[in-house]
Structure 1
Amino acid sequence: MWLGCTSPIADSLSKSPAISNRIVSLSPNITEVLFALGAGPRVIAVTRFCDYPADALALPKIGGFIDPSFEAIVSQRPDLVIGTKNTAADGVATRLSDAGIAVHLFPMETLADTRSAIQSIATLIGNKKQGDELVTQLDAGLADVAARVQQTQRRRVVVLFGHRPMVIAGPHTFVDELITLAGGINIAAGAKLAYPTWSPEAVAAALPDVIIDTSMGSETVAAADFALQWERWVDIPAVKRKQIVHLADTSLLRPGPRLVQGLLILAKTIHPEAFETK
C-alpha cells in the first residue's frame, strides 16, 4: 500500500540501552506508536498534547510538541527519548545527548516515513514482531478503505489546519496521501510547500468540492459558523453541495497507529455515498 517505502534516517544522537524501561515521548503520534507496540508500561512521560490512549493522560508532562523542556525531561531520568524530526526537538535532543541520554528522532511526514518509523521504533525497543504486525494491519486497513471509494468520481478537496493564517495540506504530506486514498484530489497538490498558507480567496478560486476544517484549540470554530464564512462564494461546489465540514478527530492529524481511522473518516466525508447501507 505504501509504495516506495524506505527506512527513515533517524537522528540517533547517542547509543540506546539494550532494554529501555524509562521512555519519554516528545510527540503525540510517538506516544500512540509506543502504546500500540505494547510499550505503554515503559513510557514514563509525554507532552501535554498526548491525549491518546487514555492512559497517556495520567503521565507526567515534559512540555509541548514545539516547546519540550530539557529540565522536565531530565528530571524523569529516562534511558530513552523518542520524538519526531522538528526544529524544537532537534534543539533539546542535542542537549539531552550531551547529557548522556539516548535520543532518537524520526521523520514522519509521509505514510512511507510513518511505516518505516513504526518498524524502526519497534526494533529499537525490542518489540520487532509487534511492529511488523502493526504495519501489516495498517496496510490492510488502508487498502480496505481505499477499495470502498475506488470506483467513485474523484472530488476536489482542501484540508485546513488553521484559520489565522489559513494553513492547508500541501504535497508530500501524509494528509495529501490520505486525500488521494479517500478518493479525493488535493487542490494544493501543486503547491511548493508541504503546508502552504492560502487566502480564502485562493481556496475559493480552486473550486473545491469539499472543504474540511481540522483546526483545534483556540482556532476552533463552530461548524455552522465555519460554513457561513464561505457562503459569499456561491460558485464553490462545496457551498452548493453543503460539503463544508469541521472534523475534530486527532486521527486525521497524527501519522501513527490510527491512520486507518483517519482515512475512514476522510473517505466518508468526501464520498458518503460509498458508505451508505443498501
Structure 2
Amino acid sequence: MTAPLRFAIAVSLCVAAIQARAAITVTDDTGAAVTLSAPAQRVISLAPHVTELLYAAGGGTKMVGAVSYSDYPAEARQLPRVGDNKALDLERIVALKPDLIVVWRHGNAQRQLDRLRELHVPMFFSEPHRLDDVAVSLVKLGQLLGTSTQADAAAATYRHDIATLRARYASRPPVGVFYQVWDQPLMTLNGDHMISDVIALCGGRNVFAKLAPLVPTVSTEAVLAANPEAIVTAAPGATQPNTPLPQLATWRAWPSLTAVANDNLFAIDGDLINRPAPRIAQGAKQLCEDLELARSRRKPGAQ
C-alpha cells in the first residue's frame, strides 16, 4: 500500500469517526430513538407546549414554524403557522424544510402523522406524563438542538421550583380535589394525567384518580358521593381568552358539598396548568396556595 493511499484511508477514517461522534441520538416519549447527524437548525413545533419547551431549551432562533396557540414566549407569536392540533398544513411544513419536527402524539391526527413520516424528517414525540418529565424533555431537546447549556440550566431551575413546592406542600394534610375539565358533559382527569401529579405535589388527592380513561365522564351524583373539599378548573388563559369557563357556580346548588360549604371553588389560568411545559411550575404554585387556603377554611374538628 502506497503512502498516499494510507494517508487517504487514515483521513477517511478520521472523518468517519468525527461524523459518528457528531451524531446525536435521544429517546423520545414513545421510546423511539431519534437520531440527527448534527444539531437541528430548522425546527417545527406541532403543539403549544412543545413550542414553550423548545424556547426554554434555547431553540427559539432555530424555530421556523408552529401550530396555532403557540403564544409563549411572545416571540413565538411571530412564527409561521402550520395548522393546529386538528389539521396540519402539510404543504407549508414541506415548504419550511424542517430538519426536526416535534410532535404531540395525542394532539395530532394519526393520519397526518403518517403523512409526515413520508417526508423522512426526524420526529421527536413529546408526551410528558409527570412533572419530572418536563425537565427530562428540556434536556433531550437541548441535545437535539445543540443548546444543552441553556436547556440544562432551564431544567435545573424547573427542578428546583418543583422541589421547593414538594418540600413545602406534599406532606401537608390531604385535600380531596375534583378537577373539572368541563361541565356539559361533566368531565375530569384520572391519576395518569400530569394535573393529578400537580394535585399530589400540593398535598391534594384526586378523588377520581382510579377512573379510566384519561379524561373520564362522571355524574353529578358521583361528585356528591366523593364530596371533594375543593373543586378546581382551568380558567381561559391568553391562549383561549374567549373560551367559556366551566360553571363552578352551579355547584352552589348543593350547599352541603364540602367544597361549596367552605367556598373552595378555584380557577387557575389554563395556560399555566394544562401545558406540560416549564410554566406548569407557576400553575402548581397557584394550586398549592389554593389548597392551603382550603385547609385554612376547615371547620373545627374537620379532617
TM-score range, shorter chain: 0.7 to 0.9
* Corresponding residue number in structure 2 for 1:115: 135
- Structure 1: distance between partners of 2:245 and 2:127: 30
Letter in 2 for 1:21: Q
The answer to whether the 8 Å contact 2:176/2:206 transfers is yes
Specify the SS of the correspondent of 2:36. Answer: coil
Aligned residues of 2:58 and 2:151 also touching (Cα < 8 A): no
Deviations 1:60-102 (A, max 9, x none): 1111123222223222222211122226354333322312322
Q: Choose from 57, 60, 63 the match for 1:37.
A: 57
Q: CA deviation at 1:112?
A: 4.2
SS of the residue corresponding to residue 214 of structure 1 reads strand
Partner Cα distance (1:90, 1:104) in 2: 15
Deviates further, 28-37 or 188-197: 188-197
Deviation at 1:272, TM superposition (A): 2.8
2:275 aligned partner, one-letter code: R
Is 1:244 the counterpart of 2:268? The answer is no
- In 2, the alpha carbon distance for the partners of 1:95 and 1:174 equals 29
- Corresponding residue for residue 251 of structure 2: 230
Aligned mate of 1:265, from 259, 272, 286:
286
Match of 1:141 in 2: 161
Larger radius of gyration: 2
Amino acid at match of 2:261: K
The one-letter code of the counterpart of 2:98 is: P
SS at match of 1:107: coil
Seen in structure 2, the aligned counterparts of structure 1 residues 28 and 64 have a Cα distance that, compared at 3 Å, is same
Distance 1:18 1:75 in 2: 21
Q: 1:194 to 1:273 in 2, by over 3 A?
A: closer
- The equivalent of 2:116 in structure 1 is 96
Question: Is the counterpart of residue 18 in structure 1 residue 42 in structure 2?
Answer: no
What TM-score comes out, normalization by structure 1 length? 0.86
Quick one: structure 1 residues 50 and 7, their matched pair in 2 at CA, closer, same or farther if it must change by over 3 Å? closer
- What is the match of residue 74 of structure 2? 54
Quote how far apart the aligned CAs of 1:36 are: 0.6
Number of equivalences: 266
SS of the equivalent of 1:159 reads strand
Contact persistence 1:27–1:83 (CA under 8 A): yes
Given that 1:161 and 1:215 are in contact with CA atoms closer than 8 Å, whether structure 2 keeps it comes out as no
3-state SS of paired residue (1:158): strand
Relative to 1, partners in 2 of residues 1:18 and 1:93: Cα closer, same or farther, differing over 3 Å?
farther
Residue 84 (str. 1) matches residue 104 (str. 2): yes
**In the aligned structure 2, how far is the partner of 1:129 from the partner of 1:40?**
14
Alpha-carbon displacement from aligned partner over 1:244-276 (angstroms, at most 9, x marks no partner): 12222411001111121111011011113789x
**Shift of residue 208 of structure 1?**
0.8
Within the alignment, does 1:221 sit opposite 2:253 as a pair? no
For 1:41, what is the secondary structure of its paired residue? helix
- Write out per-residue CA displacement over residues 96-126 of structure 1, whole angstroms, 9 at most, x where no aligned residue: 2312322221322223443332222121111
Q: Who is 2:146 aligned against?
A: 126
Report the CA distance between 1:205 and its aligned residue.
1.9
Deviations 1:110-163 (A, max 9, x none): 234433322221211112233332222222111111222245321111112222
SS at 1:231's partner residue? helix
TM-score, structure 2 normalization:
0.79
Pairwise CA distance, 1:197:
1.4
1:3 aligned partner: none
Task: Give aligned-pair identity as a percent.
Answer: 25
CA distance in 1, matches of 2:150, 2:111: 31
User: Which AA in structure 2 matches 1:132?
Assistant: D
Structure 1: how far apart are the matches of 2:75 and 2:226? 42
CA distance in 1, matches of 2:36, 2:216: 37
